[in-house]
Amino acid sequence: MAEDLSQQERDLIANLVRDGKPVPARYIPSISETPLKAELIWPGKSTLIDSTVLPFQSIEHIDEPRKGTDQQYDLFSVSESTGRQSGGWTNKLIWGDNALILSSLINGPLRQEIQKAGGLKLVYIDPPFDVGADFSMEISVGDDSVTKNPSVVEEIVYRDTWGQGTDSYIHMIYSRLRQIHDLLADDAYIVVHVDWHVSHHLRMLLDETFGSENFVNEIIWHYYNKYSAAKAAFPRAHDNLLVYKKGNPGNINPVREERDAPVKQLKRESVDGKLKNKRDSDGNLMYQEVSDKKVDDVWRIPALQPASGEWTGYNTQKHHDLLSRVIEAFSSPGDLVGDFFCGSGTTLVVAERMQRKWIGADLGRFAIHTSRKRLISEQRNASKKGQPFRAFEILNIGAYERAQTFIADGSDSIDEKKIQDQIKREDFVELILSAYGAIRSDQLAPFSGSKGGTAILIGALDSAVTQDEVQQAIDAALAVGISRIDVLGFEFEMGISPAMSDAAKEQGLTLTIRYIPNEVFDKRAIAKGQVKFYEAGYVEAVCDVKNRVLKVTLTDFGVFYRQDDADETAAQLRNSSSKVVVDQGQVVRVEKDKKGVISKQNLTSNWQDWIDYWAVDFDFASQPEVVTVLEEGKEVKKRTGKFIFENEWQSFRSKASRSLELTSAPFTFAEPGSYSIAVKVIDIFGNDTTRVFKIKVK
C-alpha cells in the first residue's frame, strides 16, 4: 500500500512517472490496485510481440517416389499412378528467424492449415543454453574437415537477439514462449530442453506464460556416458526437460522401459477404486516376475556419440531415443509436432518414424540442409520397407516486405526503433559502397548506388536477399534502360542464382550475384583495397535425351568462398602445427613444420570435392508457386511467377558414405515438347546454387 512508502520514496516515484521513466518493480505492489503475481523481471522486459504476417514461399517439394508399392497411408491419400502424396497435410521445414516464422504462423493463413491437421499438439524446443555459444561447426572435406564459420546474418541475428547477456537471452525465450503458447492447440504440451545455465529462469518464464497450475513435470535426462574432467564441482551429467500443458490434454501416454534384470513384485488389484495387494484363495500374497517398469521423471538415456550412425556433426544434437520418449509420452500417431529450433532435425526425423506430422524451423541454412538430407533418408528407408511416409516442403519467409506490426503494451517506442533501424541501414549502405568502390545514388529505387554503368543493389544486414527483391531490381533496371546490375548480400534466398542470372540475360540484362565478405567490417582492409566480393557459385551439366529418356550428368561446379587468408594463417601458426582454411575458393591445409617451414595442401583439388548434395527437377515449369496472402482480412491466392523445385532425384554424401553419383537415374517424358530441367547443387557449407537447362524432347 502507498502508506507503507516513505516520503522520499513517494517523491522518487512521482519524479520517475513525471519524466516517463520506469518505476522499480519493488514499488509496483504499493502503487497498484491490481494484485501482482510472482514473475521474473529484467531490464527492458516488455510484452511487445511481433505480429508480422509474411507469406510462406515453397522453395522445394520432396516426395520420394515409392516404386513397387501401392501401400495406402490412412492419414493422407496417395496417387495410385505415381505413389506420390496427393492430399492432406504436407510436413514443413522452414528456414528463417523463428520469431517471424511463429508470428506468420499465428496470424497468417497457414494457421488454418494447422488447425485442419488437428492443431499443434506438441512443441519440443531445445534452444541454445549458452548466451555466448559458438555456432561454427566442423564440415567434412574428403578425408579431412574444415571449420564452417557462422554467416554474418546468423551472427547478427544471434547477437542482437540473445547474444548480449542473460537479459537478452531471457527476453528472446520469453517472447517465443508467448508465441508458441498462442499457436498451440487448446489441448497440447510444450517440452523445453534446458540445462543448469538457464533452467531456473525458464521455470519462472513458463510459469508466467502457461500458468504454474499447468506445470506437468521437470524431467531429468541423465546422460551417464558423457566424460567430464570437472574438479571444482561434481561432474554435470544431466539436462532438464520442463513440461507444461495448455488446456486439458488429458493423461500422458504411459511409457515403460526394460529393467536391467527381472524383479519379483507383489501383484496388485483394484478393490472399490483402491489398489490393494492381491491374495490367493488361502489369503497368501501373490507375486509376479516383472522385466520392465513404468518410466518416472529421471530418464537414463546416453548422450549421442560421434560413432553413432545417427551422428551429423552437430555438437547440440540429442539422442534420438530421448526424442522418441518425448514424442511417445506427449503425443499420439497422427498428431502434429513442432520444433522451432530444429538444428540437425532429430525431432522431425523421430516424428516421421513415429507417424506424427511435423513442422520444423531454424535460422541456420546448414541446419535446414542437414535436416533435409536426414529426412530424405527417412523417406528412402520407409519406401524400401513398404512403410508410409509424408511429403515435406522447404519454405522460407524472406520474399516479401517486412512491414512489422506489433501488439504493444505502450512500454516501448516503436517510432524510435524505426528511426534507429533506418540510421543503422544508412551507415551499413555507406560502408558496403565504400568497400565495393561504388558511389551513393538514391535517385532510382531500389538501387543504393552505382559503379561505372552498373547499378548496385545491397541486401539487408540481418536477412537474406530474396528472389522478389532481385526481380524488382530487374524490372526497375529494364524500365529505365540499365543493362548491368550487381546484387550484394551476406546471404541469398535458396534458388536465387544463377537461375535468375540466366533469365535476366535473356532480357538483355547482365545480373551478377556477389557475396559480401566478412572483411567489409575491417576499415584497414577497406583502406588497403583488400576486400573482395566473390561471386555466387556456378553449375554446369549435360542433359542427354534419347527416345524421350533423359539423363542429367553434372560436369562442373565452382564457388569462390573466403573465410581466412592462408598467408596470414601461416604467419600466425606455431611450429609443428597446422590449420585448414578456406581461401580464394579452395579449402587449404596450411602446415608449419618444427623448423618453421610452411607448406600448403589443396584439399579441394577437384570440383566434386565442393559438392555435398545435388538434385534434379525434370520438369521445373510444372509446379507454379502460389502463395496465400491476407488482403483486407480475406485470404487471396496469388501466383508469384516462380516455380517450386520438385525434388525428383538426388544424390548426397553422408557420414557413412562420402561417394556421390554424378549422373541421374533415367527419366522418361510422356509427351514430346520443350521442358525446363532444374539442377540444384548444395555445397559443403550448405549454400545452394540452381541452374535451369532448357531442352526439346522429340
Cell digits of residue 460: 539487408
- The whole-number pLDDT of residue 393 equals 95
Q: Is residue 571 scored above 70 in pLDDT?
A: yes
Tell me how far apart the 2 most distant CA atoms of the chain are, in Å: 103
Report pLDDT digits (tens) over 578-587. Answer: 988 887 778 8
- CATH class of the domain defined by 100-255+295-360: alpha beta
Q: Is residue 400 scored above 70 in pLDDT?
A: no
Alpha-carbon span 177 to 72, nearest angstrom: 37
Cell digits of residue 210: 502457461
- The whole-number pLDDT of residue 481 equals 92
- The whole-number pLDDT of residue 498 equals 61
Q: Is residue 69 scored above 70 in pLDDT?
A: no
Which pLDDT band holds residue 42 (cuts at 50, 70, 90)? confident
Q: Could you please report the per-residue DSSP string of 124-150?
A: EE---S-TT----EEEEETTEEEEEPP
Q: Is residue 508 scored above 50 in pLDDT?
A: yes
Domain limits, CATH 3.40.50.150, in the chain? 100-255+295-360
Cell digits of residue 500: 535468375
Alpha-carbon 370 to chain mean position: 10
More confident: 475 or 52: 475
Is 215:206 a contact under the CB 8 Å cutoff? yes
588, amino acid identity? V
Mean pLDDT, range 206-217, rounded to an integer: 96
Is 512:658 a contact under the CB 8 Å cutoff? no
Is 86:77 a contact under the CB 8 Å cutoff? yes
* Cis status of the peptide bond prior to 446, with omega within 30 of 0: yes
Burial of 129 (0-12, 13-18, 19+ CB in 10 A): middle
Mean pLDDT, range 624-637, rounded to an integer: 77
Mean pLDDT, range 9-16, rounded to an integer: 86
Count the Cβ atoms, other than its own, within 10 Å of residue 687: 21
Burial of 81 (0-12, 13-18, 19+ CB in 10 A): exposed
Phi, psi of 542 (to 5 degrees): -115, 125
Which pLDDT band holds residue 445 (cuts at 50, 70, 90)? confident
- The whole-number pLDDT of residue 35 equals 62
Alpha-carbon span 161 to 140, nearest angstrom: 30
Least confident of 223-232, 447-456, 614-623: 223-232
**Residue 63 — left, alpha, or beta (φ > 0 → left; ψ -120 to 50 → alpha)?**
beta
More confident: 536 or 223: 223
Q: What's the chain's average pLDDT?
A: 84
Phi, psi of 89 (to 5 degrees): -70, 130
Alpha-carbon span 35 to 48, nearest angstrom: 22
Report pLDDT digits (tens) over 82-121. Answer: 446 767 899 999 998 899 999 999 998 899 999 999 999 9
Q: What percent of the chain has pLDDT over 70?
A: 87
Q: Is residue 253 scored above 90 in pLDDT?
A: yes
What is the enclosing helix (H) or strand (E) of 306? none
- The whole-number pLDDT of residue 77 equals 35
By C-alpha distance, which of 635, 602, 427 is closest to 520?
Answer: 427
Alpha-carbon span 326 to 348, nearest angstrom: 12
By C-alpha distance, which of 693, 442, 669, 419 is closest to 554?
Answer: 693
Which pLDDT band holds residue 357 (cuts at 50, 70, 90)? very high
Least confident of 318-332, 448-462, 506-520, 560-574: 560-574
